[in-house]
Amino acid sequence: MSERIPVTELTDGFRDRAEVALADGQLRTNFRTAMDSLMKKRADAFPDEEEREGLRELGNRIKARALSRLPDLLEQLEAKLTDNGVKVHWAETTEQANEIVHGIIQARQGSQVVKGKSMVSEEMEMNDYLAERGVECLESDMGEYIVQLDGEKPSHIIMPAIHKNRSQVSKLFHDKLGVEETDDVNELIQIGRRTLRRKFMEADVGVSGVNFAIAETGTLLLVENEGNGRMSTTAPPVHIAVTGIEKVVENLRDVVPLLSLLTRSALGQPITTYVNMISGPRKADELDGPEEVHLVLLDNGRSGAFADAQMRQTLNCIRCGACMNHCPVYTRVGGHTYGEVYPGPIGKIITPHMVGLHQVPDHPSASSLCGACGDVCPVKIPIPELLQRLRQENVKSPAEGAKVKDGGAKYSRKERLVWRFWRTLNSSPVLYRLFLWGATRFRKLTPKNVGPWTENHTAPVPAKRSLHDLAREHLARNGGQ
């Protein structure tokens, strides 16, 4: 229909940041190239469609089953880990989680932390929290190290520095570390490594994330490719793992298909270089490993998502990043445009539970609902369907009572009135035909400027005669209805 759709004023800055990103040619090229290659890698990793679909189905069921017993599994996990000598901590908010981590560091009088890549620690803004308290927290994953060096946030959940190309990294190293500029990727990695190696030996505490927490055995499983994760979890005397409560699965058998889905969806790898399975601190007769292991289980809005049968599916996510890699919006604007820790399609459906929909009112609309994300998600999260739901929650009036945290942020009386008008028009054949008649008859009067649409298009001009008219005439001639 051609009536204008008013856009509410309330915004989270997504559009402004998008405009900046879209104007940055280098950034757009970096993302297009990277995403094209990742899409190809994933496709190559799943050559057999039947196997892929069977595996996705299984992944979905494993996660749904685990979530259906979430409280039980978390208790079991805690009991098992405690038996294994791991200390388990619970945090409802990121503030609490940070306090816990800081408390553990203080108890050891630590001042230096090395961190393996962990999105939950980003969620907690742990680096800043610790820095304010005199603890240096160094990222040891190469991508994370690069963004940290540049004072940025990750722009992708698997590849934090994907927005930079090699010459940008070279320049950054030159500026910050005082080394010679080089175009050789290997040399760049070696530069980073030399800096980090020393830090592993000096650190008091190592922090990591968790990919799967296995309730049956009390095992923390962590995948990575660079070995930095293994260093962070074994070299320092204390290891603190931080994770969201949704990462728990029932048993070791569950992990096998999930792991295969994760690595193949993320980087097209059959398996990662390192698969770390941590089940406790160093034992008396062992030569290495940390003396203390802690697990911090973070809620941060997850139990809110859990309580809603439809939104619960959000917690299926195994953080593979495939939805970003395949999202035409993410590909064009990059991760920083989202302004939140989790960008792309998964960010749009998980962030509202963490920070409230009113903080990210534009996110659910920043999608053409093309469906690419849902198609590739290894655990079959129906992302478009959930975006759709969030759009509904977004425009609910206060009286309608939104069910997702701080919903109703985009409620606008004016917009509601336009849709009411649209509804009346399209549910009344008489009015609709009157509208067709007017629009075709006065087509010459169609405005040249129809708001945002005409930024990228010329205004559509109604045809001389509507299909209603043409069909009636044609069918009458042909003896139809």
Partner 1 sequence: MSELFYDAAPNATRVAPERPGPRQYPAKPREVVLFGTCVVDLFFPEAGLDAIRLLEREGIRVHFPEGQSCCGQPAWTSGYATEARVVARAQLAILDAGMPVVVPSGSCAGMFRQHYRELFAEEPDTLERVASLAERTFELTEFLLNVCQVEWHDLGEPTRIALHTSCSARREMNTHLHARELLGKLAKVERVDHHHESECCGFGGTFSVRMPEVSGAMVKDKTESLVTSGADEMVTADGGCLMNINGSLDKQQQAFRGRHLASFLWERVSGEGKA
Please return the burial class of 424, using the count of CB atoms within 10 Å of its CB with bins 0-12, 13-18 and 19+.
Answer: exposed
Binds 214: which of ligand SF4, partner 1, none (CB < 5-8 Å by kind): none
Binding partner of residue 40 among partner 1, ligand SF4, none, CB cut-off 5 to 8 Å per kind: none
> Can you read off the two tokens belonging to residue 438?
């007017």
Which residue number, 91 or 322, has a Cβ lying nearer to ligand SF4? 322
Name residue, tokens 């900046």. Answer: 20
- Stretch touching partner 1 by CB under 8 A, among 55-63, 205-213, 267-275, 280-288: 55-63
Cβ-based nearer residue to partner 1, 22 or 275: 22
Distance of CA 442 to the CA centre of its chain: 48
Residue in the block written with tokens 């603890």? 135
* Sole residue written with tokens 């993320």: 266
Which residues, 6 or more positions from 127, have their beta carbon under 8 angstroms from its beta carbon?
A: 115, 121, 137, 139, 148
CB 463 within 8 A of CB 443: yes
- Which of 98, 155, 170, 394 forms a contact with partner 1 (CB under 8 A)? 394
119 binds ligand SF4 (CB under 6 A): no
Residue 364 interface partner, choices ligand SF4, partner 1, none, CB cut-off 5-8 Å depending on type: partner 1
Minimum distance, C-beta of residue 353 to partner 1, in the bound complex (Å): 17
**Residue 255 and residue 249 in contact, taking contact as beta carbons nearer than 8 Å:** yes
Place of tokens 């990727």: 185
The interface with ligand SF4 within residues 317-346 (CB under 6 A) comprises 317-323, 345-346
- Exposure string of 368-381, with b = 16+ CB inside 10 Å and e = fewer, is eeeebbbebbbbbb
The candidate with the shortest Cα–Cα distance to 221, out of 264, 292, 272, is: 272
**Calpha distance 439→140 (Å, rounded):** 63
Stretch binding ligand SF4 (CB under 6 A), from 43-51, 315-323, 401-409, 440-448: 315-323
Q: Which is nearer to ligand SF4, 80 or 153 (CB)?
A: 153
Q: Which is closer to partner 1, CB of 256 or CB of 445?
A: 256
The nearest distance, CB 406 to partner 1, in angstroms, is: 15
Report the residue number, 106 or 426, with the smaller CB distance to partner 1.
426
Rule CB under 8 A: which of 414-473 touch partner 1? Answer: 416, 419-420, 422-423, 425-429, 432-433, 436, 439-440, 451-463, 465-472
- Candidate residues 10, 29, 65, 83; the one interacting with partner 1 per rule CB under 8 A: 65
Q: Which stretch binds ligand SF4 (CB under 6 A): 187-195, 281-289, 375-383, 419-427?
A: 375-383
- Is 299:124 a contact under the CB 8 Å cutoff? no
Stretch that binds ligand SF4, among 24-32, 93-101, 373-381, 465-473 (CB under 6 A): 373-381
40 exposed, middle or buried (CB, 10 Å; 0-12, 13-18, 19+)?
exposed
- In 3D space, the residue among 168, 173, 212 whose CA is nearest the CA of residue 189 turns out to be 173
Indicate which single residue of 364, 404, 405, 409 sits in contact with partner 1 (rule: CB under 8 A).
Answer: 364
Closest approach of Cβ 154 to ligand SF4, in Å?
13
User: Does 13 interact with partner 1 (rule: CB under 8 A)?
Assistant: no
Piece of the chain touching ligand SF4 by CB under 6 A; list 26-34, 104-112, 228-236, 314-322: 314-322
Query: Please, which residue, 101 or 324, has the CB nearer to ligand SF4?
Result: 324
Lay out the site mask for ligand SF4 across 257-286 (x = CB under 6 A, - = otherwise).
--------x---------------------
* Total residues at interface with partner 1 (CB under 8 A): 94
Kindly state the number of chain residues that form the binding site for ligand SF4, as judged by CB under 6 A: 15
Restricted to residues 305-344, the positions that interact with partner 1 (CB under 8 A) are: 309-310, 312-313, 328-329, 332-333
Select the binding partner of residue 322 from partner 1, ligand SF4, none (C-beta < 5 to 8 A, by kind): ligand SF4
Q: Is 67 in the site for ligand SF4 (CB under 6 A)?
A: no
Min separation Cβ 13 and partner 1, Å: 13
Task: Kindly tell me which of 42 and 115 has the beta carbon lying closer to ligand SF4.
Answer: 42
- Binding to ligand SF4 by residue 379, rule CB under 6 A? yes
Which of 118/314 has CB closer to partner 1? 314
Closest C-alpha among 11, 32, 117, 13 to residue 334: 32
The binding site for ligand SF4 (CB under 6 A) comprises: 265, 317-323, 345-346, 376-379, 381
